[in-house]
Amino acid sequence: MRIFVIAFITALIAAPALAEQAITLKKAPGVEQVESNCQACHSLAYIPMNSPFLGEKGWDAEVNKMIHAMGAPIDDADAKAIKAYLAKNY
């Protein structure tokens, strides 16, 4: 029984690491800005994961939130490119 408990706990600890997959975003204008700015703070998996819920206004609000509420150091030109890329591709 003790071995089962240890194996179960080990599996729980290892599962998140095994679940991570490389995310490849759609190649389009603005992808470089997204990759260089967004993944500095979080996984790019958030983009396709949230895409069913966010349209152009939603992505605009998300990028603004990351800059103004979360303090992401994204300049205006990159923010504009990121918003356009996400709205068009996700």
The pLDDT tens digits of the residues spanning 44-83 come to 999 999 999 999 999 999 999 999 999 999 999 999 999 9
CA distance 23 to 46: 10
Flag whether pLDDT at 3 surpasses 90: no
pTM (predicted TM-score): 0.74
Cα–Cα distance measured from residue 84 to residue 90, given in angstroms and rounded to the nearest whole number: 10
Report d(CA 29, CA 5) in Å as an integer.
50
| Average pLDDT taken over every residue of the chain | 87
Domains defined along the chain, listed by start: 23-89 (1.10.760.10)
pLDDT in tens, 13-50: 655 554 556 889 999 999 999 999 999 999 999 999 99
